[in-house]
Amino acid sequence: MKAFVVDRYGRKHGVRAGDMPVPELSEDDVLIQIHAAGVNPLDSKIRDGEFKLILPYRLPLILGNDLAGVVARVGSRVQRFRPGDEVYARPPKDRIGTFAEFIAIKEDAVALKPKALSMEEAASIPLVGLTAWQALIERGQLKKGQKVLIHAGSGGVGTFAIQLAKHLGATVATTASTANTGLMKQLGADIVIDYRKDDFAAALKDFDVVLDTQGGNSLERSLRVLKPGGKLIGIAGPPDPEFAAQIGASWFLKTAMRFLSYRIRKAAKRRDVNYSFLFMRADGDQLDQIASLIEAGAIRPVIDRVFPFESTQEALAYVETGRAKGKVVIRIR
């Protein structure tokens, strides 16, 4: 099958188009013929080796972290799917590879595709949808009447998270450029702060939850926005000891993560708020619930561009510019 492959970590090595064997199927796997795949900043980070300590992949590695397609075959113990089903998924972190014609993943990571969406629209949802769901609902426990700040509202995670937070009944603030203010309001943002000229930390206060997609300076300044007992959830790092325990990290890695997150955890404790790092996980049941929200019209996909499969390298480069509004997708079939 055709695929886009990483042979060696590092930006200068990039990804190459190549032929790879169709994945073998185990008894609880679903073999999916991929029609479209979402492109995420995570893909470039994996290609560049930024996650090689946390995610020790064997090279060559097929890149890609979300998909929509059609079930081609099922393993002997699979009960929820049959050949011909239209599905969407974010593969488990140790079995990625959606920039390809086929993928085999466990059935518990897969869900039926929302009927209202095209394959390209459906492929734009899994990674960002699960990230927003796990950040706002599981970790943030966001409730009606609470206030949430979502950084980088025009990005893939941001466009989804704004809609989800609005559906939950929260007051939603976001950071974006003036050019994207109209889109942010359409998606449900109540307050839009132009990150180029206004200081969100001075403009906002007494928030219950902050979803930070940026890391660095924006993460630290987000502490000032929260009220006592508030929650700061970071998806750009630094990873914390809880995450190290979650992935069964080695002693060395646990120590490194404790050290890397010490400053932000200490600053959070001083302000009586909680900091946690989120690396989202695959979850077919949550994708089922997300599909229901999409079918009900509560959430719509936001797609910037669709690239043909042979232009996967260009799609990655476009995402790396940071200028995409919503998601970038590659059409494989």
Q: For the segment 88-121, what is each residue's pLDDT rounded down to a tens digit? A: 999 999 999 999 999 999 999 999 999 999 999 9
pLDDT of residue 12: 82
CATH superfamily, with its number, for domain 127-277: NAD(P)-binding Rossmann-like Domain (3.40.50.720)
Is residue 14 predicted with pLDDT exceeding 90? no
Q: What is the mean pLDDT of the chain?
A: 96
User: What token pair was written down for 17?
Assistant: 């188009």
What average pLDDT does the segment 257-283 reach?
97
Q: For the segment 23-50, what is each residue's pLDDT rounded down to a tens digit? A: 999 999 999 999 999 999 999 999 999 9
| Count of C-beta atoms within a 10 Å radius of residue 146 | 18
What average pLDDT does the segment 6-14 reach?
91
Helices of type H across the chain: 41-47, 119-123, 126-133, 156-167, 181-187, 200-203, 216-222, 241-246, 251-260, 262-270, 284-295, 312-320
**Intrachain domains 2-125+301-331 and 127-277 with the same fold:** no
Separation CA 188–CA 172 (nearest Å)? 7
pLDDT of residue 13: 84
Is residue 237 predicted with pLDDT exceeding 90? no
Q: For the segment 150-159, what is each residue's pLDDT rounded down to a tens digit? A: 999 999 999 9
Separation CA 188–CA 32 (nearest Å)? 34
List Cα–Cα distances, 78 to 96, 218, 283, in angstroms: 20, 44, 16
For the ranges 10-19, 154-163, 188-197, the lowest mean pLDDT is seen at: 10-19
Separation CA 11–CA 5 (nearest Å)? 13
Which residue bears the tokens 């920039």?
99
pLDDT of residue 235: 96
CA neighbor of 61 nearest in space, from 36, 33, 96: 96
Q: Which residues contact 84 (CB under 8 A, 6 or more apart)?
A: 70, 71
pLDDT of residue 207: 98
pLDDT band with cut points at 50, 70 and 90 for residue 191: very high
pLDDT band with cut points at 50, 70 and 90 for residue 54: confident
Separation CA 67–CA 102 (nearest Å)? 10
pLDDT of residue 56: 86
Separation CA 128–CA 73 (nearest Å)? 27
pTM, two decimals, is 0.97
Which architecture characterizes domain 2-125+301-331 according to CATH? Alpha-Beta Complex (3.90)
Please give the span between the terminal C-alpha atoms of the chain, in angstroms, as a whole number. 12
What is the domain partition of the chain in residue ranges? 2-125+301-331, 127-277
Separation CA 271–CA 248 (nearest Å)? 29
Can you name the residues that pair with 37 across neighbouring β-strands? 67, 330
pLDDT of residue 189: 98
Rg of the Cα atoms in the chain = 19
pLDDT band with cut points at 50, 70 and 90 for residue 148: very high
| Count of C-beta atoms within a 10 Å radius of residue 333 | 11
Q: Environment class of residue 89 by beta-carbon count within 10 Å: exposed (0-12), middle (13-18) or buried (19+)?
A: buried
Q: Environment class of residue 137 by beta-carbon count within 10 Å: exposed (0-12), middle (13-18) or buried (19+)?
A: middle
pLDDT of residue 184: 98
What average pLDDT does the segment 75-100 reach?
97
Separation CA 147–CA 40 (nearest Å)? 27
Find the angle CA(302)-CA(306)-CA(311) to the nearest 5 degrees.
145
Question: pLDDT exceeding 70 applies to what percent of the chain?
Answer: 100
pLDDT band with cut points at 50, 70 and 90 for residue 212: very high
What average pLDDT does the segment 168-196 reach?
97
User: What token pair was written down for 109?
Assistant: 């990571």
What average pLDDT does the segment 281-303 reach?
98
User: What token pair was written down for 31?
Assistant: 């073999």
